[in-house]
Amino acid sequence: LAKTTQPISMDSYEGQEVNITCSHNNIATNDYITWYQQFPSQGPRFIIQGYKTKVTNEVASLFIPADRKSSTLSLPRVSLSDTAVYYCLVGDKGIFGNEKLTFGTGTRLTIIP
Amino acid sequence: GAVVSQHPSWVICKSGTSVKIECRSLDFQATTMFWYRQFPKQSLMLMATSNEGSKATYEQGVEKDKFLINHASLTLSTLTVTSAHPEDSSFYICSAREAESTEAFFGQGTRLTVV
């Protein structure tokens, strides 16, 4: 399983674009990169997933360089409600779909009014 | 995204009793389910991985006789904390994934307090 490294915490002001970078130097060929958001006392919520280049959905963008050893989650124009812990996970579903999901420390993002 | 429902959201039980937590995938067939526990200000710690119809695979240090996992159908997995003690108090979260999918979806979590 590829190990991930993220900043422990980040602060940003409302309305700014926030970029959270995750390092995963030993990512395997079949691994996907997935980001989750977690609010206190709630289960993680899927944000975005990608394999290479750039992926964009209605809430975020995910940038993955060609070597795939890192990835950056970009949150446009954050608001106070984006204050949460963000987790980067790297892995594959596995041959039988049972490869386990292991969480790293995550990044605690605090949005300042 | 897909919906995973966890029940109950919170439970308080007496020391020595057993508690069952249910995890249901509402709109997809979950061939694989994961169970986590999370202490305050910490990350999610994987307890076990289960596939429908087979025994769960427990992580090192997790007592399989204490944390009983059953994944009898493609939409339901249960975690039973047997003979609960105050140190078992934690936030328990389940996750489910479809066979051909790379995405996993999480329940809302269950806050267990053992008194």
Shortest CA distance to A43 belongs to which of B19, B9, B31?
Answer: B9
Cβ-Cβ contacts under 8 Å, B44 against chain A = 44, 87, 103
Beta strands in B1-115 (DSSP E): 4-7, 10-13, 19-25, 32-38, 45-51, 57-58, 67-73, 76-81, 90-97, 104-106, 110-114
pLDDT tens-digit map of A72-104: 999 999 999 999 999 999 887 655 555 777 888
Whole-number pLDDT of residue B55: 87
Whole-number pLDDT of residue B98: 84
Whole-number pLDDT of residue A98: 56
A76/A13 Cα distance (integer angstroms): 12
Least confident range of A53-67, B8-22, B62-76, B96-110: B96-110
Cβ-Cβ contacts under 8 Å, B109 against chain A = 41-43
Shortest CA distance to B106 belongs to which of B27, B10, B34?
Answer: B34
Cβ atoms within 10 A of the Cβ of A113, count? 6
Shortest CA distance to A109 belongs to which of A5, A7, A24, A3?
Answer: A7
Amino acid at B82: T
pLDDT tens-digit map of A14-44: 999 999 999 999 998 888 899 999 999 999 9
A56/A74 Cα distance (integer angstroms): 9
- The minimum CA-CA distance between A22 and chain B, rounded to whole Å, is 16
Cβ-Cβ contacts under 8 Å, A92 against chain B = 102
Which stretches of chain B sit within 8 Å of chain A by CB?
Answer: 1, 4, 6, 31-32, 34, 36, 43-46, 49, 51, 57, 91, 93-95, 97-109, 111
Residues 42..101 of A with a Cβ closer than 8 Å to B: which? 42-46, 49, 87, 92-93, 96-98, 100-101
CB contact under 8 A, B43 and A87: yes
CB contact under 8 A, A46 and B1: yes
pLDDT tens-digit map of B32-57: 899 999 999 999 999 999 888 888 99
Task: Give me the residue label for tokens 């409600």.
Answer: A81
Cβ-Cβ contacts under 8 Å, B6 against chain A = 43
DSSP A99: P
